[in-house]
Structure 1
Amino acid sequence: MSNKSKHIHQAAALMRSQHTGLLSTHSVSMQGYPFGSVMPFLMTEEGNLVVYASDIAQHSRNMQEHNKVSLCVYDGKQSDSQASARVTVLGTAQADAVDAQLQEQYMAVFPQAKSYVQAHDFRFYLISTVRLRYIGGFGEIFWFSLDDWQSHMFNLAASAQGAIEHMHEDHSDALALIVAHQLQRPVIQGQVTMLSCYQHGFHYSCTTDPATDKDATHIGFICFKQPITKDHGLRQAMVVLTQEAKKNAECSNGKTETMSSTI
């Protein structure tokens, strides 16, 4: 993999793993000024963005008047925001351009949005990517063209649903183990749902920590160790995650046994 390809995949993985960004639109009420809004988003197989916004929201009015927008996403886990990886997507927003399948995928990742369907005239917008700016860290600063971005996207739409059903029916134990490794806490088999499957990983939902709120649901994204390509298939990517999770579980059990024997 070339250095450029590596950074494109890093940028895509960051976009997949983060669910909220800063949407910048052209202000209608304050001409010439940008207007920033915190906005949940879903990235499509092609690398475009889906957002769901109310007609009464200022950013919706702005997009309807001027459809050139940007969305900035960054890794909020880093203590130094200036050193964290971030992506700025520049694109063109279009209302009512999201098909039913994409709407369903969005609702799966953001189930709270289902309650907005009948409220305040919410509608979907498709933000078609035009160009991207990626900063991976000190000295890692790149512009990616649309051709760069899309040529690195591997579409799993034809096989994703079958893979999800296979994981639920035959490998629910491995799925629970992978999510437990991600969350660093026990996860009960059968209480994990695989919501999506993309080139760079998959969304999942599971019950939250029973010690805090047993009825709440946690939704997250797990990145594959290596993106899906013609030479690195989905099955191989899931096997790698499973093996890593098993190794971690074995190490944790070993530490527990050692501590028990010394008490």
Structure 2
Amino acid sequence: MSVEVAKHARELLLKEYRGALATHSKAMPGFPFGSVVPYCLDEQGRPLILISRIAQHTHNLRKDPKCSLMVGERGAEDVQAVGRLTYLANAEQLVEPVAIEAAAERYYRYFPESQSYHTAHDFDFWVLNPVRHRYIGGFGAIHWVDQVSLANPFAGKVEVRMVDHMNEDHANAIAHYVELAGLPSTEPAKLVGLDSEGMHLRIGQSLYWLGFPEPCNTSTQVREALVLLARASEWPKK
């Protein structure tokens, strides 16, 4: 049961790309401070955020790194009947040049508009190191989960190569994925990320994660899954 619950919690974290960050207020000690942040998952499956040095939540994290990220299913009419996740974490600013470079390369694919204000203003990358998770899958489906994160076996050059290849040579296949999954087709979709369990597409300003029929642990398996989906008449059931 715990493995299945962790999978559902992780899929929610993958499907969404913004959440409510709760920090300990520096200006009002004893009170929680909430703010909204976009995020993507890094190579270890941790939420990666880009925040301003002058933002209140950054001041709060520098004083106390304990925080939580609340993520819920977007567009839900009844928020209490759908999945939501409270991700308890210790925030850590990235300071090593190699780590910052890897974070920037990944984050810019997901949020290309962020590159301009990151370089023009004082923004830094932070990761949320997991401590524990509270996952609610609907009424009565309430769980504490210790392990949710899953490392991305393709993060880095392998992922970049696969993403670029799909965008440059297989735009028709990507459009077919959009149609199969019933995603908005108002603008052309771009592939921005791959992990062992699925792929991320960017359509306009929004991100969407589509799960593979089966987990993929090698680039060959990813290629086979993408070909299968490109030929499918409906999205395969897991």
* Fold match (TM-score > 0.5): yes
1:89, CA displacement in angstroms? 0.9
Q: Is the 8 A contact 2:100 2:125 kept in 1?
A: no
Q: Which residue of 2 aligns with 1:49?
A: 47
Q: Which residue of 2 aligns with 1:100?
A: 101
Q: Given the alignment of the two structures, is residue 228 of structure 1 paired with residue 229 of structure 2, yes or no?
A: no
Higher normalized helix content (fraction of residues): 1
Q: Which residue of 2 aligns with 1:251?
A: none
CA distance in 2, matches of 1:73, 1:4: 19
Q: Is the 8 A contact 2:189 2:202 kept in 1?
A: yes
RMSD: 2.6
Amino acid at match of 2:117: Y
Q: Evaluate the alpha carbon distance shift between residue 114 and residue 162 of structure 1 in structure 2; reply closer, same or farther with a 3 A threshold.
A: closer
Q: Evaluate the alpha carbon distance shift between residue 157 and residue 227 of structure 1 in structure 2; reply closer, same or farther with a 3 A threshold.
A: farther
Q: Given the alignment of the two structures, is residue 32 of structure 1 paired with residue 33 of structure 2, yes or no?
A: no
Q: Is the 8 A contact 1:47 1:129 kept in 2?
A: no
The correspondence for 1:76, drawn from 74, 92, 110, is 74
Q: Is the 8 A contact 2:42 2:106 kept in 1?
A: no
Q: Evaluate the alpha carbon distance shift between residue 176 and residue 25 of structure 1 in structure 2; reply closer, same or farther with a 3 A threshold.
A: same
Q: Secondary structure at the match of 1:73?
A: strand
Q: Evaluate the alpha carbon distance shift between residue 52 and residue 227 of structure 1 in structure 2; reply closer, same or farther with a 3 A threshold.
A: farther
Q: Evaluate the alpha carbon distance shift between residue 225 and residue 143 of structure 1 in structure 2; reply closer, same or farther with a 3 A threshold.
A: same
Q: Is the 8 A contact 2:103 2:125 kept in 1?
A: no
Q: 1:31-180 to 2 correspondence within 5 Å?
A: 31-97=29-95, 98-145=99-146, 148-150=147-149, 152-157=150-155, 159-180=158-179
Amino acid at match of 1:80: D
1:240, CA displacement in angstroms? 4.5
Q: Is the 8 A contact 1:70 1:91 kept in 2?
A: yes
1:34, CA displacement in angstroms? 0.6
1:219, CA displacement in angstroms? 3.9
CA distance in 2, matches of 1:154, 1:168: 20
Q: Secondary structure at the match of 1:204?
A: strand
1:170, CA displacement in angstroms? 4.5
Q: Evaluate the alpha carbon distance shift between residue 247 and residue 74 of structure 1 in structure 2; reply closer, same or farther with a 3 A threshold.
A: closer
Amino acid at match of 1:58: Q
| Cα deviation 1:166-193 (Å, max 9, x = unaligned) | 42354332112112334556578xx543
Q: Given the alignment of the two structures, is residue 204 of structure 1 paired with residue 201 of structure 2, yes or no?
A: yes
1:75, CA displacement in angstroms? 0.1
Amino acid at match of 1:155: P
Q: Is the 8 A contact 1:44 1:50 kept in 2?
A: yes
CA distance in 2, matches of 1:111, 1:153: 23
Q: Is the 8 A contact 2:199 2:212 kept in 1?
A: no
Gaps of 5+ in 2: none
Q: Which residue of 1 aligns with 2:12?
A: 14
**178-187 vs 197-206, greater mean Cα deviation:** 178-187
Q: Secondary structure at the match of 1:143?
A: strand
CA distance in 2, matches of 1:95, 1:185: 35
Gaps of 5+ in 1: 207-216, 249-263
Q: How many residues align?
A: 230
Amino acid at match of 1:177: H
Share of identical aligned residues, percent? 31
Q: Is the 8 A contact 2:61 2:91 kept in 1?
A: yes
Q: Evaluate the alpha carbon distance shift between residue 227 and residue 93 of structure 1 in structure 2; reply closer, same or farther with a 3 A threshold.
A: farther
The correspondence for 1:238, drawn from 212, 216, 226, is 226
Q: Evaluate the alpha carbon distance shift between residue 35 and residue 218 of structure 1 in structure 2; reply closer, same or farther with a 3 A threshold.
A: closer
Q: Which residue of 2 aligns with 1:258?
A: none
Larger radius of gyration: 1
